[in-house]
Amino acid sequence: MVKEITDATLTACNLAILGSSFSSLQNKKLEFSYRLSPGRLETSGRWSCWIEGNTATDLSTVRTVINQLQAPEKVRKAQASLENPVTQGIGFSANTYRLYLHGRKTATQKDFYEAWRWGPDVPLKTYTYTFQFWSSIYNAIAVESFIPQLLLPAFNKLVSNKRFQQMSGYWIRYNEKCLIDQVDICFPWQPLAGSLQGCRLLLELLEIDSSTNPALEEFPVRHIVFNTDVNFPCVTLYTSAPADHTWPNDEDRLQSFVLTSARAHHQQTEKHVFAALPSLNINVDNNDIGEFYDGAVALWKQVLGDKMHYHAGLFESNTMNDASEEDMQQALDYAVSSLYPLLPKSGRVYDIGCGWGGPMSMIVNDLRCRVLGLTPSLTQFKYITEKGFNVRLGDAEKTLPPGYFDCVLMLESFCHILHKEKLLHILRRFSSRLVMRVNCQDSAPPGVAFGGSMHMISSNDLKDMLQKTGWTIRHWQNVRQAALPSVYVWNKRLQSIPVTNDRHIETLRLWCARITNGLEEWGANNPLIEVMAE
């Protein structure tokens, strides 16, 4: 009993420390967790507060608090030097404190996470985190190999959740020895624990009697963290919610507020997002589009140029077959920069069909947007990852956007979508703006083209489809005439490259050779529609 009073008093004291500094801040979030270990369920003693902001006030306020908590000098220096701050968190458990820092690399806008743990009798420890999307195509790290055997059946059950596979993934934590010591499964829609079969299996495997805490069924799960230590198999369930100006003065009030708010968030998300979504085309046969777009980087640089822009350039003058390499590079850059007025400066952009990342790098560097690319090509995924940009491996028709974006960009990739109307319905729920350049085919009925990889529609069908799926067209322009010289440049480059065993390159070679003989007529019948819709 004395220990419970001591813990409660300590929590109240820590809440008071945070409340005096954080209660008036905007964009804050409270979080707490349940911990499950063999025969034991701990429902108190672990909580944190997150500040989602990068103002001078946000930074100085966190600095004041960690000073009060006697953070080591190394921790204070890390907080003071945080690059492009996004989120800061302070966590408490018993007499131990944690600082979480989320920033972004200036050059790539790629997120990074670090954490520190310390306390009066706790030596300083440092952790780093990386995120990995779940993918049926490729996993950079086989995270299941780090899960204790006792817990592996429940882990596998949790990650078999279809919605998790479609939109989420894992946070992987590394300790100071660069060893993985935690695997964190993310559930951004915050499902109730009772709805996840894996959670029920966890209780069985750990021999925990859920009747001792029936509220566990209604726990809105945001993260499920697996400890990788085989000698201490434990799992921690986290939930969180935005905090208002009413600051809790004890842990019971903190938990009550978070649970109520998180459950409401879950219900709203189910009602307004997922209930309105059409089913995904999990079994869609899209002609092995990922394999089609794989290829040797060195070879594709000969075709596309060093910046690896795989889209048509927009030429300011009709140079046609006289276009030089310099003209082409300027046209490629302009094809991206001319879209800048349509894109949200410093916004969050989902680049579907991002190719080799050429447009992404320009948008990041020039507009300071946070861009997440999506490609079905493993080669493209690895190429972009090595450059440090945010990219996801997957098929747009088999995945969901991992959250809400200010804009979805599809630069000559919409033609590769088989079920176009269904995708437009889905994107409407995850973004308020859509910017596309679409290769259309007006002189022939719908069909496949370009080695069977493109599913063509007319410009009239595109317009009808956008309106039918709830998008309002704000900008519409056919830019095909300005793009035509690109074909001559590609054809010239390909003539200098010997025949390869790359199906994609040979398809492009045949296509360029065929249409250069009647390029003007082809251009008149195949518009390149630039559209922005909201």
| HEC letters along 175-191 | CCCCCEEEEEEECCCCC
Residue 350 backbone phi and psi in degrees, to 5: -105, 110
Q: What is the CATH number of domain 289-533?
A: 3.40.50.150
For residue 279, the model assigns a pLDDT of: 84
CA–CA dist 11, 1 (Å, integer): 15
For residue 1, the model assigns a pLDDT of: 34
Residue type, 326: E
Cα dihedral: 308, 313, 319, 321 (round 10): 50
The token duo for 222 is 């945001």
For residue 280, the model assigns a pLDDT of: 80
The token duo for 423 is 């995708």
Please, what is the angle between helix 152-159 and helix 197-205, to 10°? 180
Write out the H or E segment, with its range, that includes residue 265. helix 251-272
3-state secondary structure of 154: helix
CA 273 vs CA 242, 265, 372, 468, 469: distances in Å: 19, 11, 21, 18, 14
3-state secondary structure of 139: coil
Residue type, 377: S
- Ranges of each domain in the chain: 2-276, 289-533
Taking Cα atoms as reference points, which of 193, 187, 393 lies closest to residue 293?
393
The string over 335-350, giving b where at least 16 C-beta atoms fall within 10 Å of a residue's C-beta and e elsewhere, is: bbeebeebbeeebbbb
3-state secondary structure of 145: helix
Evaluate whether 48 touches 98 at the Cβ level (below 8 Å). Answer: yes
The token duo for 119 is 């306390």
Averaged over successive runs of 10 residues, the pLDDT of the chain (534 residues) comes to 54 85 88 95 93 87 93 96 94 92 93 95 95 76 92 96 95 96 96 94 91 84 96 95 86 94 95 89 66 88 92 83 86 97 96 97 96 95 94 94 97 96 96 98 90 93 98 98 94 93 93 91 96 98
DSSP assignment, residue 405? B
Full-model pTM: 0.93
The token duo for 433 is 């703006």
The distance from CA 353 to its chain's CA centroid, rounded to whole angstroms, is 14
Q: Is 129 exposed, middle or buried (0-12, 13-18, 19+ CB in 10 A)?
A: middle
For residue 2, the model assigns a pLDDT of: 38
The token duo for 153 is 């059946």
CA–CA dist 370, 355 (Å, integer): 17
3-state secondary structure of 3: helix
DSSP track, 60-86:
HHHHHHHHHTT--HHHHHHHHT-SSEE
